[in-house]
């Protein structure tokens, strides 16, 4: 008989090797054993009959706005929304104020986050024309998820719209770089297509070609430099079709909102669903779902990008692009699982094994002995209604307000510690940097 810190018993385990009944034992923050542990004992034994245990869900694209924009969100409030939604780790983006583009600004974020954020974390460093020489050092820093480049939809030094600038960044780095892929030149040429007070003109201005032409340029540059690229928040069926031929160099992220919403949402939600790249018509949503089914899409990211309700209610196009998403990430996708649009195994592959594979995570992304005891525990049959009142993001709103879903996170376990359990924050502020090999 063995003795452990905690045993989670009688759950259905969903892992890289399939689905089955198993107990999970935790010792010193690590997974110590899996299997039939009915003869073993622990300080705490938790019965999970009727529940599923997944490897901890990792949201690889969030904007938590700290420093500089903390009236919208900060690392603490954003990570609270994450753990309340079943997310154990996040990759946060560099478009803060100041930008995360130097050793000093990166270390400042790590310092702000450690033992303050509720979940584990990594930060992208922004690639610019001016910091190319520092990128090989920056991308190897503890807690760095890699380099993020904005080819469109950014301002100041964080915008790298030209091929030479992108090529210089790719030549400098060794890890997979992440890209916001929209063509800034075409965006500028088409700005006259924005119609005042009409957010449904957003996908007309930022049309399919804005995304596709940028993505084609990126793939060409990746081939010329012999580097790997990661293209964020794919929004068009054409990109999915094109990228199916280029999986050797390009990995693909898709988002819950591009899989859930279509252009009809502009009539009901207005600027609340204004995003870059935009939510488009249902044929694009169908094309992205095809990419999930056929394996072109590698991972899911929420692109949690909060703005205050007051900011979002400015008349288009003065309204900012972005919506909340980290807390609704798991419930929205579990609802799709229950509707038969993807399997639970595929969801797990896109939220834990995929990040592990693409970004070379150390000891995260699988339920296996020796790995961090990061668990997302779900009740696949629980019915809930998403509401603004229950959002923990500082902004306090969600585009899914009033949406009924089936499937709900009931436990967020990070390195063996019960952080969220049955809707309550149990252990706050334990966040540590995610490690990469």
Positions annotated as catalytic residues are 303
What is the number of alpha carbons within 13 Å of residue 119 lying toward its C-beta? 37
Q: Estimate to the nearest angstrom the gap between the alpha carbon of 1 and the chain centroid.
A: 40
Alpha helix (H) ranges present in 261-343?
265-269, 282-294, 309-312, 329-338
Cα separations (Å) of 248 from 215, 216, 223? 15, 14, 10
Cα separations (Å) of 151 from 130, 238, 423? 15, 18, 39
C-alpha 281/C-alpha 263 separation (Å) is 5
Pick from 397, 329, 244: nearest CA to 56: 329
And the tokens for 83? 């753990």
C-alpha 244/C-alpha 20 separation (Å) is 32
C-alpha 140/C-alpha 145 separation (Å) is 9
Sheet holding 120-126, edge to edge: 57-62, 87-92, 120-126, 144-150, 177-180, 229-231, 250-254, 299-300
Q: Are 125 and 106 in contact (CB under 8 A)?
A: yes
Cα separations (Å) of 178 from 2, 139, 173, 264? 44, 12, 12, 30
C-alpha 291/C-alpha 301 separation (Å) is 15
């Amino acid at each position: 008989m063995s003795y452990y810190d905690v045993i989670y018993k009688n759950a259905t385990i969903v892992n890289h090797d399939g689905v089955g009944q198993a107990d999970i034992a935790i010792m010193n923050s690590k997974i110590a054993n899996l299997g039939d542990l009915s003869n073993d004992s622990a300080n705490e034994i938790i019965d999970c009959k009727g529940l599923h245990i997944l490897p901890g869900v990792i949201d690889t694209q969030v904007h938590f706005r700290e420093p500089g924009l903390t009236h919208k969100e900060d690392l603490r409030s954003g990570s609270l929304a994450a753990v309340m939604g079943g997310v154990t780790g996040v990759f946060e983006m560099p478009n803060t104020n100041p930008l995360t583009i130097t050793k000093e600004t990166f270390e400042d974020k790590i310092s702000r986050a450690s033992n303050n954020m509720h979940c584990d974390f990594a930060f992208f460093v922004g690639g610019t024309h001016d910091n190319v020489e520092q990128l090989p050092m920056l991308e190897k820093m503890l807690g760095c998820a890699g380099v993020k480049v904005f080819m469109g939809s950014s301002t100041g030094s964080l915008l790298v719209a030209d091929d030479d600038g992108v090529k210089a960044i790719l030549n400098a780095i060794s890890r997979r770089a992440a890209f916001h892929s929209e063509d800034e030149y075409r965006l500028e040429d088409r700005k006259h297509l924005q119609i005042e007070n009409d957010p449904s003109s957003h996908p007309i201005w930022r049309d399919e070609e804005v995304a596709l032409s940028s993505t084609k340029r990126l793939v060409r540059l990746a081939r010329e430099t012999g580097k790997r690229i990661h293209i964020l928040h794919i929004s068009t069926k054409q990109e999915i079709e094109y990228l199916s031929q280029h999986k050797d160099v390009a990995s693909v992220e898709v988002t819950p909102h591009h899989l859930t919403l279509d252009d009809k949402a502009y009539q009901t939600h207005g600027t609340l669903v204004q995003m870059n790249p935009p939510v488009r018509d249902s044929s694009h949503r169908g094309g992205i779902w095809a990419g999930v089914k056929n394996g072109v899409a590698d991972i899911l990211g929420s692109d949690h990008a909060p703005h205050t309700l007051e900011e979002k209610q400015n008349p288009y196009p003065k309204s900012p692009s972005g919506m909340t998403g980290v807390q609704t990430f798991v419930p929205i996708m579990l609802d799709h699982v229950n509707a038969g649009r993807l399997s639970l195994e595929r969801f797990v592959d896109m939220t834990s094994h995929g990040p592990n594979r693409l970004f070379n995570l150390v000891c995260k992304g699988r339920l296996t002995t020796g790995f961090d005891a990061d668990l997302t525990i779900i009740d696949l049959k629980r019915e809930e209604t998403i509401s603004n009142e229950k959002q923990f993001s500082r902004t306090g709103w969600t585009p899914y307000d009033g949406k009924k879903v089936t499937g709900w996170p009931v436990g967020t376990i990070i390195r063996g510690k019960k952080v969220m359990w049955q809707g309550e924050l149990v252990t706050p502020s334990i966040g540590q940097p995610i490690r990469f090999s």
